[in-house]
Structure 1
Amino acid sequence: MTSGMCVRCGGHIAVPEKETVVREKARQLSDQASYPVIYRMLKGIVLCGVCLDSLPLIGHDICQRCGRDRELQVSIGDEGLCRDCVHGEDGQILVANRSLLRYEKGEKDLLGLFKYRGDERLALYYGTLLAITVQRYYRSMGFTCITTVPLHPQRLQERGFNQVDLLARYLGAAIKIPVRPLLCRTKDTPKLSKQKGRAARHESMREAFVWDGKDMPFAAKILLLDDIYTTGSTLRSCARTIRAHLGPSCEVYSLTIYR
């Protein structure tokens, strides 16, 4: 018995062989309350059993602010924060980030196909991964809305779409939270992969966004969506702009596929 084609390897998805992996991963990613929901999402994800089993899942021992996996050989102190977060700037501008997967070589190639070719199957795949991440970490948060990191108009014209907007559409439908655009990007920054060092990335994102939302409560709890958390400069810049408009009673959390 098969059900579709795997988005990672292109092979047929053999349902009986996948079932054992689905149950194992659901136990790994959930507690008793969230197990049924995560199980159903994993069962429906467009991956074969082998590819599902090989996903580089972030473990349970993470930095409580940025969500970085201790397996990446990053020291996590007694306060639950990695070295970068202990010594980083901006304090609680961004309350926390959570991600599902480590950003490894094979993941970079697959994400590139989605970002620059817009394969709709990958939008559903990544949207499901994000919904699983919400169930794993943010299930009881009660977010006011989901918003996304916007592209600069020139970059949007070149690419033709914002891949994160596609993900937000799937995620919002899956977890029943409205999606609202709150920001506009006014600064066309170089790709972060082409910038050297945390300081350069931080400086490039300074005042890169402006408020573009309407009728938001000041005590809102915002879920800010992007595909990758690297240094966090982009997400913190977005969070800073949101809080500058809504005030300190607003809380901004971020959600990414990769960390």
Structure 2
Amino acid sequence: MHCQPEYKGPVYIWSKNKQSCLLCDEASDSLLALCSACQDELPWLGAQCSVCALPLPAVGLTCGQCLQHPRAFQRVIVPWRYDFPLDSLISRFKHQEQWPFGRLMAELFAQFLNFRFDEGLPRPDCLLPVPLSRRRLRQRGFNQADMLARWLGQPLHLTVEPDLLRRVQDTPAQQGLNAQARRRNLSQAFALTASTSVAGRHLALVDDVLTTGATAQALAQLLMGAGARQVDVYCLARTPGAEHRD
């Protein structure tokens, strides 16, 4: 007597699955849903500020803003410029709930970070997604930074602590504000979970796009003030200036 029904059709084998490129729709030549040609065409970030990763004309420089106003975070680690087609992928993930695009970018980012760790970049103790306000979370239905942090945590072998940071003030949108206005907007906007200690820990904030760095600065100041040893920022893309939204 057979315990299972007999089936003579094709069997789905994950290890032999052929992915299609999410950008050009051609068959991918890798295990990712992105072909090598499209991966090479992504707007990889070259020379950048050694602290905030602002695109600069030469390697090894620090931008004027970071020299005049030292940051609370140690460094920003980011693979791409906020430019086509990456800006479209982020927008579709963030605003249209097309999560495969977010998962793809997280997989590529994890490869990039593992390469940097092998080169000597200090590994953090954990990943902290940048929190959303309750209103924005209700509107969007998910926190894109939280999803990115969770997708990064497993391949990087890092823990994710999504509840360590809270957004306690529902501040107005950052779009269209200059750096000074963004800093005022974010003053007292975040808080730590009372039961969680960050003393002596190396922490990495995770977000999708860094613009002026005002959000990262506010969170890093909070964490360093609570005794953190170091705060880094991990994000998918860096804008060339303040014309895009954090």
Between structures 1 and 2, the one with greater helix share:
1
The equivalent of 1:22 in structure 2 is: none
Q: Which amino acid aligns with 1:211?
A: L
Task: Return the alpha-carbon distance in structure 2 between the equivalents of residues 47 and 208 of structure 1.
Answer: 38
Return 5+ residue gaps in structure 1 as ranges: 16-42
Q: 1:178 offset after TM fit, Å?
A: 0.3
Which residue in 2 is equivalent to 1:62?
48
Q: TM-score, normalised by structure 2?
A: 0.81
Q: Note the C-alpha offset of 1:156.
A: 0.3
Q: Which amino acid aligns with 1:239?
A: A
- Whether 1:163 and 2:136 are equivalent positions in the alignment is no
1:84 deviates by 1.8
Deviation at 1:8, TM superposition (A): 2.3
Q: Which amino acid aligns with 2:190?
A: F
Which runs of at least 4 in structure 1 moved beyond 4 Å after TM superposition? none
Deviations for 1:173-212, whole angstroms, at most 9, x for unmatched residues? 01000000211002222332232x2111121111110112
In the aligned structure 2, how far is the partner of 1:230 from the partner of 1:138? 24
Post-superposition shift, 1:136?
3.9
Worse-matched range after superposition: 176-185 or 212-221: 212-221
Alpha-carbon shift at residue 93 of structure 1 (Å): 1.1
Greater gyration radius: 2
Q: Which residue of 1 aligns with 2:189?
A: 208
Question: Which of 223, 227, 231 is the equivalent residue of 2:212?
Answer: 231
Q: Which residue of 128, 144, 151 corresponds with 1:147?
A: 128
Aligned sequence identity (%): 27
Matching residue of 2:98: 119
Match of 1:222 in 2: 203
CA contact (8 A) 1:147 1:168 kept: yes
Cα pair 1:13 1:49 within 8 Å, conserved: no
* Residue aligning to 1:47: 34
How far 1:114 moved relative to its partner?
Answer: 0.3
Describe how 1:71-110 pairs up with structure 2 within 5 A.
71=57, 80-88=61-69, 91-110=70-89
**For residue 172 of structure 2, what is the aligned residue in structure 1?**
190
Ranges in structure 2 where 5+ consecutive residues have no aligned partner: 1-15, 239-246
Question: Is residue 253 from structure 1 mapped to residue 232 from structure 2 by the alignment?
Answer: yes
Equivalent in the alignment of 2:19: 4
Q: Aligned partner of 1:228: which letter?
A: V
Tell me, yes or no, if the aligned pair for 2:149 and 2:206 is still in contact at 8 Å: yes
Q: Does the 8 Å CA contact 1:187/1:209 hold for their aligned counterparts?
A: yes
What is the CA distance between 1:213 and its match in structure 2? 6.0
Is the contact made by 1:2 and 1:12 (CA closer than 8 Å) also made in structure 2?
no
Q: What is the alpha-carbon distance in structure 2 between the residues aligned to residue 213 and residue 46 of structure 1?
A: 41
Give TM-score, length-normalised by structure 1: 0.77
Residue 144 of structure 1, CA deviation: 1.1
